[in-house]
Amino acid sequence: MGNPKPKPPASGGLPASESLWLPPHYGGELRKKGGLDKTVYWDVEEVVDFIFPRRYQPTYHAVACDFLALVLERDYVMKKDIKDFLKAKNYSKSTLENKIIPKLVRFGLLKREREITSGLGKGRALILSESLTFSNYLERIGFAWNMLVSTSRKKKVKG
């Protein structure tokens, strides 16, 4: 007799911490943002929606939007600023420090540095600031695809 309830194999799928959500370019989700028209301004909420989709991760989306707004209005954010932010917004420290900040750093929206100290204190203070790595990354992917398509089209016309 076979196993009546076989256990499915472990998923080797894409980790959520490394995933970018891209809704259909022809769908309502993107249309609500103004579509792909580059002259339509997207604010923090629209950009963050691709990293922490409001539809699937509403809490992470809210925390990330509020935190990025804080970072964008300052030159940098340090541990005390994070503590004050969490207290003012009543957000979970664990959520911000274990889910939001790591993904924003990994995706290149934030740059994480450590303060250089000369003393023998406990560790070096965290410094977060905005980063353009995210846009450079996506721009590079888009440019590579543009070159591949343009080259392919040119070859078809010649041939």
User: What's the pLDDT score for residue 114?
Assistant: 86
- Tell me, yes or no, whether 2 lies in a domain: no
| pLDDT for 127 beyond 90 | yes
| 132-136 CB contacts, 8 Å cutoff, 24+ apart | 132/108, 133/107, 133/108, 133/109, 134/107, 134/108, 134/109, 135/108, 136/108
Amino acid at 158: K
- CATH code for the domain of 82: 1.10.10.10
- 126 confidence band (pLDDT: 50, 70, 90): confident
- With respect to residue 158, please indicate whether it lies within any of the assigned structural domains: no
pTM: 0.83
Neighbouring-strand partners of residue 127: 78, 113
Domain membership flag for residue 6: no
In a domain? residue 11: no
| H or E, element range at 144 | helix 133-158
Question: Domain for residue 45, yes or no?
Answer: yes
The total number of structural domains in the chain stands at 1
Is the four-CA dihedral 127, 130, 135, 138 of positive or negative sign?
Answer: positive
Within-domain flag for 157: no
Which range of residues forms the domain containing residue 73? 16-115+123-131
- Residue 102 tokens read as 């790591």
- Joined together, the tokens standing for residue 63 give 């925390």
Residue 139 lies in a domain: no
pLDDT digits (tens, 9 = 90+) for 43-96: 999 999 999 999 999 999 999 999 999 999 999 999 999 999 999 999 999 999
Task: Give a yes or no: residue 31 inside a domain.
Answer: yes
